[in-house]
Amino acid sequence: MDVSIIGGSGYGGGELLRLLLQHSGVRVKQVIGRSSAGLPVTRFHPNLRGLTSLVLEDPEALQPCDLLFTSLPNGKSMFGMPDWMRTAPRVIDLGADFRLDREQDWIEWYTPPHARPELLERFIYAVPEIHRERITAAERIACPGCEAIVSILALYPLLEQNLIRPDRIIIDAKMSSSQAGRSPSPASHHPERTGAVRSYQPVGHRHTIEIERCLEEYAPGVRVDISATAVEMVRGLLVTIHAEPRIKDIGEKTVWQAYRRAYREAPFIRIIKQRRGLYRFPEPKLLQGTNFCDIGFAVDPRGGRLVVIGAIDNLVKGTAGNAVQCMNLMAGFPENTGLGFPGLHPV
């Protein structure tokens, strides 16, 4: 299957290219990068030296392909999408432009009007572990944001099985620097970022609306509140979620069973809860380069809380890996094709 990538010079595009070059069922036909056209992709992704001779091309040179990935900054892919949809019968967008199916939600959380609101309902918001059948039949996919997908995966079994109150959920998210993208900013300048544990968005995080819209199908009235903190980590994302159980004195066995029931056939979900050892709960460090989402939990009988911990690599399960997983479902490949890297330890 011929696939192409629009937005190949960024971190998400580079990670997508890394995964696709190792995929047995696809050929990467083109990598598009307007401002970098004419330069080899290895100029931006030196880890791919010796694996590819692809050169970034101008968008005007885009040719028909079987499936097109778009990996652009928020607010960019909407402008070219009408033309790109005519280029490929299937499109997977890694950005935020088509994650919300209501124009008003986009205006409220992203401010500028949406350039192509008529296309919003043509895209399927895609979490493979939850929307497998929809993805298999889809032609247009909108991949979730990285903080959104790990929170959704951590919360879905508990809400779907009515184990927690939907209106009292607080998400504490620890964010790595690569989530800000390739373009530098004062906040990513090394003297400002190094050593930082910076609360940069204690309220009003954009992924709030994604999480609520996805989960309201299973838990009407769901309400989440996110506090985001930047930490000194290049890759990785850790969420600590505080929820109130509906069941008084909820037991760990009940929570275990909820996750096992929901994810028994999910190859990239691992429930991590050990009584001893250094890595008793999910740890982003161990997930670098992998498509796993690790989930753990702890019951607090004193405070009446259920604390859920979720970890991913934001560039893989949070971005490119999830997109490849969706492609596998759409194209009929085994779901884990090209996504078998187990991670490294120590790292």
**Residues labelled as active-site residues:** 146
Give pairs for 82-90: CB < 8 Å, separation 24+: 82/116, 82/119, 84/6, 85/119, 85/140, 87/62, 87/63, 88/4, 88/64, 89/139, 90/66, 90/138, 90/139, 90/140, 90/141, 90/330
Strand duo 2-6 + 124-125: pairing: unpaired
What does each C-alpha distance from 229 to 74, 130, 294 come to in angstroms?
Answer: 20, 27, 20
Q: Tokens for 101, please give them.
A: 């199916």
DSSP 267-319: TTEEE---SSSS-SS--GGGGTT---EEEEEEEETTTTEEEEEEEE-TTIIII
Alpha-carbon gap, residue 237 to 225, rounded angstroms: 17
Residues 271/227, Cβ–Cβ less than 8 Å: no
Degrees to nearest 5, angle at CA 53 with 76 and 326: 50
